[in-house]
Amino acid sequence: MLFSRTPAVRTREQLAIMRRAGRVVAEMHAEIRAAIAPGTTTAELDRIGRDVLACRGATSNFLGYGHPPYPAVICASPNSMVVHGVPSDRVVLREGDIVSIDCGAIVDGWHGDAAFTAPVGEVSDEARRLIEVTEASLDAAIAAMVEGNRLGDLGHAVESTVRAAGLHVVAGYTGHAIGQAMHEAPNVPNVGTAGSGAKLRVGNVLAIEPMVAIGTDDTDVLDDDWSVVTADGTWAAHAEHTIAVTPDGPEVLTRP
Ligand code: MF3
Ligand code: CO
């Protein structure tokens, strides 16, 4: 399916299951968000994610993913870490930090995937604005998840929002179609030309996930082969939802 240029069309029955997976991810978000505070470790946040999955009879699409196999059910990426931060007892959140939390769940074989960035206590105006712009860029792309629009409209929505704010879209990482696998074709870039690319159809389900940095679009991967950091050490934020195109417009499956 990796060569496919158009996202799959899901039936109402399939969407109903994806909605359940999305709700589990939303619950992971709510529980983890409530636990984010100075002194919390990212390993504690991962344990909360595991508890929600177990409670809901869902499984993790992150645990064991890729090479080397991903060792946790969430990604927790503080400050200059963009995505794929591996939770650890040694990573203690401090007042003034920001942390990006990415969560996924599988319910009856169907996947949900979503991320948010939260302040830890009081943060700088610059950090708060970084988070706000990242969320606004995701909201702009969600608003474009309408039948007849094109994939390029989504990337254009993200890119234009981020650029207008004087921030940088992280290069080299994209969103993706999602269904019975977490990552399905096609990719959903965070940059694009309005009116270009595949046409969106009712039943398409995409994970849109802008990654935004203050100073650069360039990244490095740390020695753990997972953690992605900005090349210049400036802070980054990540926001993601799993969204369906419906006859009534976009439906965000990972929002409660
Ligand atoms: N949610 C991430 C994405 O959208 C994947 C996390 S990487 C994993 O691509 F290894 F944790 F699964
Ligand atoms: Co994703």
pLDDT digit string, tens, across residues 217-245: 999 999 999 999 999 999 999 999 999 99
Q: Is residue 1 part of a domain?
A: no
Nearest-atom number in ligand 1 for the CA of 207 is: 4
The residue type at 147: E
- Residue nearest atom 12 of ligand 1, based on CA coordinates: 62
Q: Whose CA is nearest to atom 8 of ligand 1?
A: 62
- Is there a contact between 120 and 38 (Cβ–Cβ < 8 Å)? yes
Domain membership flag for residue 246:
yes
Distance of CA 62 from the midpoint of ligand 1 (Å): 6
Secondary structure (3-state) at 137: helix
* pLDDT at residue number 4: 67
Range of the domain at 130: 6-252
pLDDT for 214: 99
Ligand 1 mean position to 191 CA, how many Å?
19
> How distant, in Å, are the alpha carbons of 83, 144, 153, 209 from that of 195?
29, 11, 6, 20
Residue 15 to residue 107: CA distance in whole angstroms:
12
146 inside domain? yes
Ligand 1 atom showing the smallest separation from residue 74 Cα:
11
Q: In the structure, which protein residues have their CB atom closer than 6 angstroms to any atom of ligand 1?
A: 62, 65-66, 70, 75, 84, 102, 104, 113, 207, 209
The pLDDT score that the predictor gives to residue 161 is 99
From 84, 100, 242, 243, the mutation candidate for ligand 1 (largest count of ligand atoms within 8 A of CB) is 84
Split into its structural domains, the chain has a count of 1
In a domain, 206, yes or no: yes
In a domain, 46, yes or no: yes
Report d(CA 110, CA 61) in Å as an integer: 10
C-alpha to C-alpha distance for 197 and 141, rounded to whole angstroms:
15
Residue 101 maps to a domain:
yes
Strands (E), 27-161: 74-78, 81-83, 98-107, 110-119
Closest to 167 (Cα-Cα) out of 210, 196, 113, 220: 210
Helices (H) and strands (E) in the chain, counts: 4, 14
Reported pTM: 0.98
Q: Which of 101, 103, 113, 173 to mutate to test the pocket of ligand 1 (most atoms within 8 A of CB)?
A: 113
Q: What is the pLDDT of residue 256?
A: 85
Q: What CATH number did the domain enclosing 112 receive?
A: 3.90.230.10
Percentage of the chain exceeding pLDDT 70: 98
Alpha carbon of 240 to ligand 2 centroid (Å)? 7
Tokens (6 digits) for 13: 């029955």
**In this structure, is residue 148 part of a structural domain?**
yes
| Ligand 1 centroid distance, CA of 9 (Å) | 22
Each residue's pLDDT tens digit, 90-118: 999 999 999 999 999 999 999 999 999 99
Low-confidence spans in the chain with pLDDT less than 70: 1-4
The best mutation among 75, 173, 206 to test binding of ligand 1, ranked by most ligand atoms within 8 Å of the C-beta, falls on 75
